[in-house]
Structure 1
Amino acid sequence: MQFTTIGAAIVDIVVSRVRPMSGAKQDVEHIGLYAGGGAVNAALNVAARGARTSVYACVGRDLEGGLLRDLLQRHGIRAAMPDHVLPTGKAVVMVDDSGAARAYAQRGASAWVGEHGFPDLRQADVVYVTGLSLESQSWLQAALADLSAPWPFRLVVTPGARQLSDPAALHGLWDQADLLCVNAREAAKLCGDESLNTDAPSPEVARSLAQRLIHRPGQAVLVTLGSGGALFYDGADGHFHPARMVPAVSTIGAGDAFASAFVHAWADGAAPQAALAAATDSAARIIQVIPANQAGPLRA
């Protein structure tokens, strides 16, 4: 399988075991430098599962961009990541004692994915789109419009915060997607439902939201429910799988780990419950480590 990811490649500066500040300086358990960004996290995950993998992203002409390229190369991942005059994107990720994470991001070059096009998309079996700037989303839609139908790949869309902030702009990709991947709050937002006040609604609520997100025949929706599990709606039936309860070290990569593992199994022909089980195991592994993936620290 050729699995192509599109989206952010950034450096995560992860600070773990953060407590409320009690003075000007505070000791923490760990500070580490890691690869991050949805496109990179997904690519590393599916490459470890045996897929031939490539990444479309954008980095700066700096040390951090070189470190990201080197890491992907070591993992056998083809990186289509042109240099940009802006610096490589970075995020400072603060992880508290419960494993909950809060990120402070500087998008930098990562907001310019696709400025020079998306060559070779037709070689993919899966095109997995992670969070994009609205400019990058427009460039991707133009590239897809230039491809003659039918496409040889499945298009999977996992929208980011900027896309979710403008659902009308997202409609182009959303309408074309074979699979839309969102969490429960994101699903409610796209449905215009402001009443949902939990990350883990019931499977019945998740199914109702998923049904409303279907835009065309043949489309499917994956709704993650945090500690409540996940529901895959194939256009006719809802397939629920509970979460696996493990100690949470950090939640920063759980969504990427779950969705990419599900898509890899689903696109390879696995039944819904088998794909959900594979995704659940993948997310459980990631929340037991500090970074958002299992590639280890960035280093020369």
Structure 2
Amino acid sequence: MTTPPQVLCFGEALVDRLGPPGGDPATDQPIDDCLGGAPANVACALARLGTGSALLGRLGEDGIGAEFREILRSRGVDIRALQWDPERPSRTVLVRRDSSGDRSFGGFAGDKGDGFADQAVEASALAAPLEELLAGARWLLVGTIPLATPTSATALRFAVERAEQAGIPLALDVNWRPTFWPTSPERALESLRPLLSRAALIKVSAEEADWIAGSRDPQHISASLPQAPAVLITDGPGALTWWLGGQAGRLEAFTVPVVDTTGAGDAFLAGVLHRLCQEPELLDTAPAEQVRDAMRFASGCGALVCQGAGAIDPQPTEAQVQRFLATA
């Protein structure tokens, strides 16, 4: 039975085409097509952990869309606000992996000339299902990729405004991916500043922290924004740092055998939101040890995803995370 959605995830669902380590996914074999897209990854990871989620976005009426429909339903992700495009295809992203499993994005496949379905989310079609979903939601999670296209940017801003009116806090995953943007990093940053100034929780990588604030100090980043949000900074195999609940913290990454890092940050963020739904006091009043325990749990989610291929298939249950943490 589907759990009522507590976290609404707005944004892209797509295929990550993984090339062989050190190879080119556009030309080299073998390739591995894995369902992904940061908001879709978080929605699936939340459902796997036991927190109800919904995905708000747009997919093509194609094979990729059909695969997503199946996996989202099997995970119990609410798809009433997911739109289906009869003309534009679902997006395939070409992902290169180095010998350590770290990845980079190198372009797209499947465009027929009108762009991809995720770029065409319609605000008008989102209105009715969004109102239903907001009635039971605790968080709205958004990334920044929809801002790269005018139509999807309008829909994203609509969702953010409606959530704000309903008193639902905003979680922002900066998720800076230059490949998706037709403009300069400077102009892209200007377009996402309003989200930075409205979010209650901001998740960034260390490089993204440099980009948005010129600092890797989460407390400094929080203090630079009018609403003083919680800030989480991930750094791959480096340390996680945070400013959460008025407390600073640091946690070294778990050492695990890495197959593919795609989706590890999304699993981490899902772990954070999962614990925030269970323990909302983490945002402002929890003691330091409780905050650290939540960050350790979220880091365990990311570490387990690194040990499998793709972003969704390796996502753990809460019990699997707890078993991992007991021996880590």
Answer yes or no: same fold by TM over 0.5.
Answer: yes
Could you tell me which residue of structure 1 aligns to residue 294 of structure 2? 275
Q: Is the 8 A contact 1:214 1:221 kept in 2?
A: no
Q: CA deviation at 1:147?
A: 5.6
Amino acid at match of 2:142: V
Matched, 1:168 2:168: no
Please tell me whether residue 8 in structure 1 is matched to residue 12 in structure 2: yes
3-state DSSP of counterpart to 2:262: coil
What is the letter of the counterpart of residue 93 of structure 2? Answer: A
Q: Deviations over 1:36-57 (max 9, x none)?
A: 1011110111111101111011
Q: 2:264 aligns with which of 243, 254, 266?
A: 254
The 5-angstrom pairing of residues 85-100 of structure 1 reads: 85-100=87-102
Q: Which amino acid aligns with 2:37?
A: G
User: Does the CA contact (< 8 Å) of 1:12 and 1:91 recur in 2?
Assistant: yes
Q: Secondary structure at the residue paired with 1:246?
A: coil
Cα distance in 2, alignment partners of residues 223 and 66 from structure 1: 34
CA distance in 1: counterparts of 2:32 and 2:18, whole angstroms: 5
Q: Which structure 2 residues correspond to residues 53-202 of structure 1 after superposition, within 5 A?
A: 53-79=53-79, 80-84=81-85, 85-106=87-108, 108-115=116-123, 116-118=125-127, 119-120=130-131, 121-122=133-134, 123-134=136-147, 135=150, 136-146=152-162, 149=165, 151=167, 153-161=168-176, 162=181, 166-191=188-213, 193=214
- Offset, 1:250: 0.9
Q: Which amino acid aligns with 1:285?
A: L
The SS at the match of 1:92 is strand
State how far apart, in whole Å, the 2-side matches of 1:223 and 1:213 are.
15
Q: Which runs of 5+ in 1 are unaligned?
A: 197-204
CA contact (8 A) 1:38 1:131 kept: no
Q: Does 1:228 align with 2:238?
A: yes
- Cα contact 2:218–2:231 (8 A) shared by 1: no
Bigger Cα displacement from structure 2, 46-55 vs 270-279: 270-279
* Amino acid in structure 1 at the alignment position of 2:172: V
Runs of 4+ in 1 over 6 A off after TM superposition: none
Q: Report the alpha carbon displacement of residue 267 of structure 1 after superposing the two structures with TM.
A: 3.4
8 Å Cα contact 1:243-1:280 kept in structure 2: yes
Cα distance 1:12–1:146, how it changes in 2: closer, same or farther (>3 A)? closer
CA contact (8 A) 2:23 2:96 kept: no
1:242 equivalenced with 2:252 (yes/no): yes
Q: More helix by proportion, 1 or 2?
A: 2
CA shift for structure 1 position 238: 1.0
Deviation at 1:235, TM superposition (A): 6.5
| Contact 2:196/2:225 (<8 A) preserved | no
Give the aligned length. Answer: 279
Q: Quote how far apart the aligned CAs of 1:20 are.
A: 8.1
Would the alpha carbon gap of residues 148 and 263 (structure 1) be closer, same or farther in structure 2, given more than 3 Å must change? closer
Alignment of 1:8-27 (within 5 A): 8-19=12-23
Deviation at 1:171, TM superposition (A): 2.3
**Cα distance change, pair 179–114 in 1 and its aligned pair in 2 (3 A):** farther
Relative to 1, partners in 2 of residues 1:58 and 1:189: Cα closer, same or farther, differing over 3 Å? same
> How much does 1:146 deviate?
4.4
The one-letter code of the counterpart of 1:155 is L
- Work out the percentage of aligned pairs sharing the same amino acid: 24
Q: Counterparts of 2:307 and 2:162 in 1: how far apart (Å)?
A: 42
Kept after mapping to 1: 8 A contact 2:6/2:277: no
Cα RMSD (Å): 2.7
Whole-angstrom distance in 2 between the partners of 1:274 and 1:169: 35
Distance (Å, rounded) in 1 between the aligned partners of 2:303 and 2:164: 39
Quote how far apart the aligned CAs of 1:77 are.
1.1
Question: TM-score, structure 1 length as denominator?
Answer: 0.83
1:243, distance to aligned residue in structure 2 (A): 0.5
* 3-state SS of 1:48 partner: helix
Contact 1:46 1:264 in 2 (8 A): yes
1:294 aligns with 2:309: no
Task: Answer yes or no: is 1:32 the counterpart of 2:35.
Answer: no
Tell me the residue number matched to 1:201: none
